[in-house]
């Protein structure tokens, strides 16, 4: 990603002036995502330096290929607004302006100015990382009838925006690449070569994630009806949280389900930890699930031969397939376990979806440690897409976008417990590892106020999903 040609004298002068006004700084900085970065670029300061602003405008214009023609300019708010203004004053090309907040009254327009339907607009941006904020301006312009195919950018952090925006039909014309900036600053003894090497390593390790589809967009490709329903439900209810209700009495279970119900997509149970479980417990849970629109997942982790799991899933004290929407199975016994579960589900006459345990959260677990295990579990699962809709896994993407990953071992702050549980944060699980659903137990049911804790996890999981969809978790 750090391939970059040498810069012209004018571009080098611009780099040095940006360093002079401390628009580019080195140290340790916490980014919006919580990641520590050795580099901080804040181009807002340029607004206070008119000479620099006009140098930025002329460099941006000079960096555009001749083939790029346009009838209007539109800066991405806020930092690039003065850049676009300076370019407009230089070239006499009119400007449009995107509102960050669309007013609830009046015209409710998101684009201000003399819009010409079909007119070609050049978007102007100060800095790109993933390209997410550029698209927040491109889309409303397109919605207003403008044609947008190019963006002029002062500085590309070279973390994936060019590729991302290209997939949205937008070509990036960057005046400066971050690697060129580093080269100039090292050559001019403005930054230590070791610091520059650190920054290059950081950039290489923190490339923008590929954009992932929304849950709803993936639902159409999911053959199991419960899996498809879960994906749609998550977008509708705006939650990707599953609470692991690991309590020991029916009263506690129902109290917890009622408290967290408004915030969850799935309630995960261990019916065999509930000492006084009866059929009424299942009936009451189903009523709560229907009232609050969440799914019931009995985490029984079937792990026997087909003939045995028919009886375990359909009979016994818990009659699981009579009330659970989701059940799960280990892959160890081989495909017969899925055949057995299919028999149990079909005789219950209800829609039930199965998750295969492809990985686990506990330290030293063999599903994760043995190299061939996860791929073999995935291969087994995807042969029965009308029954199996996904995985218990520590990452997303297993089995492709038609499969859902649900991840246990989630806690704010990470860490672990004394018995081998390993925790990751909602942001890491959904944003970085690309899983779809966070499963949270003690972080919620042991909290003083489980409903408030569920709300907090719901918001964290959802924010990570939204960032992932925009591809801008950096």
Ligand X SMILES: O=c1ccn([C@@H]2O[C@H](COP(=O)(O)O)[C@@H](O)[C@H]2O)c(=O)[nH]1
- Residues designated as active site: 301
Nearest residue relative to ligand X (C-beta): 441
Piece of the chain touching ligand X by CB under 6 A; list 20-28, 124-132, 166-174, 435-443: 435-443
CB of 388 to ligand X, least distance (A): 16
Residues numbered 374-433 forming contacts with ligand X, rule: CB under 6 A: 392, 408-409, 421
Q: Segment contacting ligand X (CB under 6 A): 124-132, 180-188, 207-215, 439-447?
A: 439-447
Evaluate whether 389 touches 352 at the Cβ level (below 8 Å).
no
Distance, in Å, from the CA atom of 80 to the CA atom of 22, rounded to the nearest integer, reads 17
Smallest CA-to-CA distance from 271 within 293, 292, 297 is with 297
- Asked if residue 244 binds ligand X (CB under 6 A), the reply is yes
Nearest distance from C-beta of residue 260 to ligand X, angstroms: 13
Indicate the residue among 149 and 249 with the shorter CB distance to ligand X. 249
Give the burial class of 281: count Cβ atoms within 10 A of its Cβ; 0-12 exposed, 13-18 middle, 19 or more buried: buried
Among residues 400, 111, 291, which one has the least CA distance to residue 390? 400
Give 299 or 384: the residue with its C-beta nearer to ligand X.
Answer: 299
The nearer residue to ligand X, 193 or 414, going by C-beta atoms, is: 414
Q: Distance of CA 333 to CAs 163, 237, 242, 306, 377, Å?
A: 43, 36, 27, 8, 10
Q: Residue 455 in contact with residue 417, Cβ under 8 Å?
A: no
From 76-84, 89-97, 111-119, 440-448, span contacting ligand X (CB under 6 A):
440-448
Name residues whose C-beta falls within 8 Å of residue 38's C-beta, 6 or more positions apart in sequence: 26, 27, 28, 29, 195, 198, 199, 202
Helix (H, G, I), strand (E, B) or coil at 174: strand
Smallest separation (angstroms) from ligand X to the CB of 310: 23
Q: Which stretch binds ligand X (CB under 6 A): 90-98, 125-133, 188-196, 437-445?
A: 437-445
**Token digits for 246?**
């690991």
CB nearer ligand X, residue 9 or residue 419: 419
**Please, what is the minimum distance in Å from the beta carbon of residue 416 to ligand X?**
9
Task: Enumerate residues 264-283 that contact ligand X by CB under 6 A.
Answer: 270
Name the 3-class secondary structure at 29. Answer: strand
Taking the complex as a whole, the smallest distance from the CB of residue 108 to ligand X amounts, in Å, to: 44
- How far apart CA 341 and CA 353 sit, in angstroms, is 10
Q: How far is the CB of 405 from ligand X (least distance, A)?
A: 12
442 binds ligand X (CB under 6 A): yes
CB nearer to ligand X: pick between 128 and 393: 393
Instruction: Tell me the C-alpha distance between 408 and 360, whole Å.
Output: 8
Using the rule CB under 6 A, is 74 a contact of ligand X? Answer: no
Given 75, 160, 441, 461, the residue binding ligand X (CB under 6 A)? 441
# residues contacting ligand X (CB under 6 A): 16
Q: Is 440 in the site for ligand X (CB under 6 A)?
A: yes
CB of 454 to ligand X, least distance (A): 12
The residue (of 97 and 412) whose beta carbon lies closer to ligand X is: 412
Which residues have CB under 8 Å from 263's CB, separation 6+?
Answer: 239, 241, 451, 454, 455, 457, 458
Stretch that binds ligand X, among 84-92, 157-165, 354-362, 465-473 (CB under 6 A): 354-362
Q: Is 246 in the site for ligand X (CB under 6 A)?
A: yes
Report the C-alpha gap between 278 and 319 in whole angstroms. Answer: 10
Q: What is the rounded CA–CA span in Å between residue 98 and residue 73?
A: 11
Least distance between ligand X and beta carbon 272 (Å)? 11
List the beta bridge partners of residue 176: 155
Q: Could you say which of 37, 129, 137, 361 contacts ligand X (CB under 6 A)?
A: 361
| Residue 324 in the binding site for ligand X (CB under 6 A) | no
Q: Please report where in the chains the tokens 């149970």 appear, as a residue.
A: 269
Q: What is the DSSP string of 380-403?
A: HHTT-TTTEEEEE-SSS-TT-TTS
Considering the complex, state which of residue 19 and residue 309 has its C-beta at the smaller distance from ligand X.
Answer: 309
Binding of ligand X by 298 (CB under 6 A): no
CA 448, 450, 454, 455 dihedral sign is negative
For 431-474, the DSSP string reads IIS--SEEEESHHHHTSSSHHHHHHHHHHHHHHHHHHHHHT---
Which stretches of 63-106 are DSSP H helices? 81-91
Nearer to ligand X, 165 or 245 (CB): 245
Interacting residues with ligand X (CB under 6 A): 244, 246, 270, 299, 360-362, 392, 408-409, 421, 439-443
């Amino acid at each position: 990603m750090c391939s970059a040609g040498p810069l012209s004298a004018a571009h080098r002068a611009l780099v040095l002036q940006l360093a002079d006004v401390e628009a580019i700084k080195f140290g340790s900085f916490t980014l919006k995502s919580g990641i520590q970065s050795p580099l901080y670029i804040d181009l807002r300061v340029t607004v206070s330096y008119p000479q620099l602003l006009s140098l930025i405008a002329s460099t941006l214009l000079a960096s555009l290929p001749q083939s790029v023609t346009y009838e209007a300019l539109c800066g991405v708010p806020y930092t690039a607004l003065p850049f676009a203004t300076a370019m407009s004053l230089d070239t006499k090309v009119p400007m449009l302006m995107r509102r960050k907040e669309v007013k609830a009254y009046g015209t409710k327009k998101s684009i201000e100015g003399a819009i010409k339907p079909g007119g070609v607009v050049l978007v102007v941006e100060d800095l790109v990382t993933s390209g997410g904020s550029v698209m927040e301006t491109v889309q409303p312009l397109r919605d207003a009838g403008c044609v947008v195919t190019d963006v002029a950018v002062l500085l590309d952090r070279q973390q994936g925006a060019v590729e991302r925006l290209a997939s949205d039909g937008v070509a990036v014309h960057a005046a400066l690449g971050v690697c060129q900036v580093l080269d100039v600053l090292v050559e001019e003894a403005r930054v230590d070569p070791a610091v520059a090497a650190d920054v290059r390593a950081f950039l290489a390790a923190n490339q923008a994630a590929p954009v992932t589809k929304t849950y709803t967009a993936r639902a159409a490709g999911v053959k199991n009806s419960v899996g498809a329903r879960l994906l749609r439900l998550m977008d509708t209810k705006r939650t990707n949280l599953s609470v692991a209700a690991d309590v020991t009495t029916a009263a506690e279970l129902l109290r917890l389900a009622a408290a967290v119900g408004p915030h969850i997509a799935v309630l995960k149970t261990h019916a065999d930890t509930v000492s006084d479980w009866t059929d009424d417990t299942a009936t009451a849970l189903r009523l709560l699930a229907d009232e609050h629109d969440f799914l019931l997942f009995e985490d029984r982790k079937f792990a026997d031969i087909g003939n045995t799991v028919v009886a375990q899933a359909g009979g016994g004290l818990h009659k699981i397939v009579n009330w659970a929407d989701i059940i799960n199975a280990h892959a160890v016994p081989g495909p017969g376990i899925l055949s057995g579960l299919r028999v149990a589900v079909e005789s219950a006459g209800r829609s039930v979806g199965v998750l295969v345990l492809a990985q686990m959260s506990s330290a030293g677990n063999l599903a994760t440690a043995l190299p061939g295990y996860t791929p073999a579990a995935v291969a087994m699962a995807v042969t029965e897409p009308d029954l199996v809709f996904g995985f218990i896994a520590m990452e997303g993407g297993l089995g492709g976008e038609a499969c859902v990953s649900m991840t246990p071992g989630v806690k704010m702050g990470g860490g672990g417990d004394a018995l081998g549980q390993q925790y990751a944060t909602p942001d890491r699980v959904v944003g970085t590892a690309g899983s779809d659903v966070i499963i949270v137990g003690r972080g919620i049911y042991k909290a003083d106020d489980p409903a408030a804790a569920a709300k907090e996890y719901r918001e964290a999981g959802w924010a990570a999903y939204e960032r992932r969809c925009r591809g801008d978790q950096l």
